[in-house]
Amino acid sequence: MTRAPFGARLAAAMDDHGPLCVGIDPHASLLEAWGLTDDAAGVRSFALRVMEAVGGRVAAVKPQAAFFERHGAAGVAALEEVVAAGRESGTLVVVDAKRGDIGSTMGAYADAFLRDGSPLAGDALTVSPYLGFGSLDPAVELARETGRGLFVLCLTSNAEGHEVQHARTADGVSVAAAVAARAAELNAGADELGSVGLVVGATIGDAAVRAGVELAAVRGPLLAPGVGAQGAGAAELAEVFGGARRQVLASSSRGVLRTGPDVAALRAAALRASGEASAVLR
């Protein structure tokens, strides 16, 4: 199947719907709040209700694979249904699985999440470069072949992240800056957004500056978790991303999901969040 590169498709989706990605995170507490059982059936109902509310109305959705996988084969089957629902509604699906390994194992992960015909293959996959960026080569190659994208962990908002991401290599460059530079190399020549993006937490303050990461130079999308309920608003987005704001795909999970289970309420929350993201980033 021939498709436009992920970066070009994402740029068009953000222009059409605003720069918002709705996270689909069926936490046990959210399932309870929605009156659903904490099992694969509850996860399936939760996820497909979110898709009913936002499908075709936001740039992307981001199902967190772990919350599906914890329920075994039936939970993974529910994740496959979310991927299919995104395809049917024309909504980009970023599968948040944060895969990272070496050699044939990384190749197998790539096959599962990036190969045409795989029921788990959305439009992009989150990956971890911390076994060395080169370990991601199987995913990079297959994503390029199939027109899919990658979001590479770069500057995360967890308190422990700086231990690795701000560490310096022998030539004095931070690990995060080295990751960003490799992504920029892969995006060279892209017409609009490249298809290799970074995950950059929306609540990290001036961490990019301190780590020497030039976000605008990446020329790829910047997936920004932490918008809304986790604390990032207009001021935080401006501080973190500065001149790279048009590259940002803001991710909101709890800020939208806590308004459920009513479909109309979910849809209104998502559209409100998308408008707020557009006002700041566009």
**Token pair recorded at residue 276:** 């707020």
**Token pair recorded at residue 125:** 């996959």
How far apart are the C-alpha atoms of 266 and 274, rounded to whole Å? 12
Q: CA-based angle 154:160:163, to the nearest 5?
A: 70
How far apart are the C-alpha atoms of 240 and 205, rounded to whole Å? 5
DSSP string, 96-144: EEEE---HHHHHHHHHHHHSTT-TT--SEEEE--TT-GGGGHHHHHHHH
Q: Is 62 a catalytic residue?
A: no
**Token pair recorded at residue 234:** 């207009």
Residue of 27, 70, 98, 115 marked active site: 98
DSSP helix/strand/coil, 81: helix
Q: Tokens 């017409």 appear where?
A: 191
DSSP string, 139-193: HHHHHHHHT-EEEEEEE--STTTHHHHT-B-TTS-BHHHHHHHHHHHHHTT-SSS
Category of 256 on φ-ψ map: left (φ > 0), alpha (ψ -120 to 50) or beta: alpha
Residues designated as active site: 98
